[in-house]
Amino acid sequence: MQTRTLGNSGLEVSAIGLGCMGMSFSYGPPKDKHEMTALLHAAVDRGVTFFDTAEVYGPYLNEELVGEALAPFRGKIVIATKFGFDLRDGINFRSPNGAPGLNSQPEHIKQVVEESLQRLQIEVIDLLYQHRVDPDVPIEEVAGAVKELIQAGKVKHFGLSEAGVQTIRRAHAVQPLTALQSEYSLWTRTPEQEVIPTLEELGIGFVPYSPLGKGFLTGAMNENTKLDSADFRSMLPRFTPEAMKANQALVDLLGVLAERKQATPAQIALAWLLAQKPWIVPIPGTTKLHRLEENLGAATVELTPEDLQEIDAAAAQITVQGARYPEKLEQMTGR
């Protein structure tokens, strides 16, 4: 497995990481612990060194799974986790408007880090993200709290998730950022407008989550796909039957190139991301070994400048239907 360095930080990770959320959260009930442990071990065996989790995934279950499963590989892997949601008794508090509650008060951050360290069975967190920007806490205070944790030897690197450009700049001025984690893929290209140029200017790495469009870009879903009510995609505007029917054109585009390259649509989607910048490290999630192997195979798919131009020209003719999130969750991005 090739490696990449996240920005100017010196943090070296596998070119493709593994998003672990779906093993415990959002895509139906938590998966079998033994099966997921075997999958995490298989990822390490295949060269993956970058694993992504968060306290809110479960809550807590995913950190516990990742911590236990990856305990034998301490020192050989990088674990990223996140703080920022207001969890009370293991339940995410809801704010008056119905959106998930946030809490990035400095004392809360420090408490969350202590608890995450225990669940992950580690002495220092490799990469700590603020999960969503908290409008009630100045980002300078958040960055200052993480800076203190870095100085105390409890955290190595600082990141933000779904933050806007001004927030990135303000945080970076207090404690240099190693990475931004936001959604980015062929059907979510908003970061190209302002975020990616800013990251390049400041020397910050980019970690795209949902690089396969939450599964849609693999070609495994269509307008007839029935999503379980426990699957959070069932509440996303982009996953209505009408939107999926309209967005099929994007999957068809990937399929044409995949056939030519003797690859799969998922591999083309990931290879496209890898080709954008050398400091971009996607973290596709999966709970299946064959999908893990398929995703990792994207690192060997070479897209020429002509291929990339062809993809961009064709994608420009396709208007993606449906918002990424319901309005209340969409408002929590780009702050």
Share of the chain above pLDDT 70, in %: 100
How high is the pLDDT of residue 38?
98
- Provide the pLDDT confidence category of residue 221 given band limits of 50, 70 and 90: very high
DSSP 77: S
What average pLDDT does this structure show over 162-186?
98
Enumerate the active-site residues. Answer: 57
CA 9 to chain centre: 19
Over its C-alpha atoms, the chain yields an Rg (Å, rounded) of: 19
How high is the pLDDT of residue 96?
78
With a cut of 80, say whether residue 64 has pLDDT above it.
Answer: yes
Note the pLDDT tens digit of each residue in 287-312.
999 999 999 999 999 999 999 999 99
Cα(207)–Cα(223) distance, integer angstroms = 29
How high is the pLDDT of residue 99?
81
Tokens of 5: 């360095």
What pTM did the predictor assign?
0.97
Instruction: Give Dmax over CA atoms of the chain in angstroms.
Output: 54
Note the pLDDT tens digit of each residue in 247-280.
999 999 999 999 999 999 999 999 999 999 999 9
How high is the pLDDT of residue 321?
97
Q: Is 83 helix (H, G, I), strand (E, B) or coil?
A: strand
Cα(317)–Cα(320) distance, integer angstroms = 10
- Provide the pLDDT confidence category of residue 95 given band limits of 50, 70 and 90: confident
Note the pLDDT tens digit of each residue in 124-133.
999 999 999 9
In this structure, are residues 20 and 285 in contact, taking their beta carbons and an 8 Å threshold? yes
- Provide the pLDDT confidence category of residue 93 given band limits of 50, 70 and 90: confident
Note the pLDDT tens digit of each residue in 137-170.
999 999 999 999 999 999 999 999 999 999 999 9
Domains and CATH numbers, the chain: 3-215+277-301 (3.20.20.100)
Cα(272)–Cα(123) distance, integer angstroms = 36
With a cut of 80, say whether residue 89 has pLDDT above it.
Answer: no
Mean pLDDT of the chain: 96
How high is the pLDDT of residue 296?
98
Tokens of 67: 């911590």
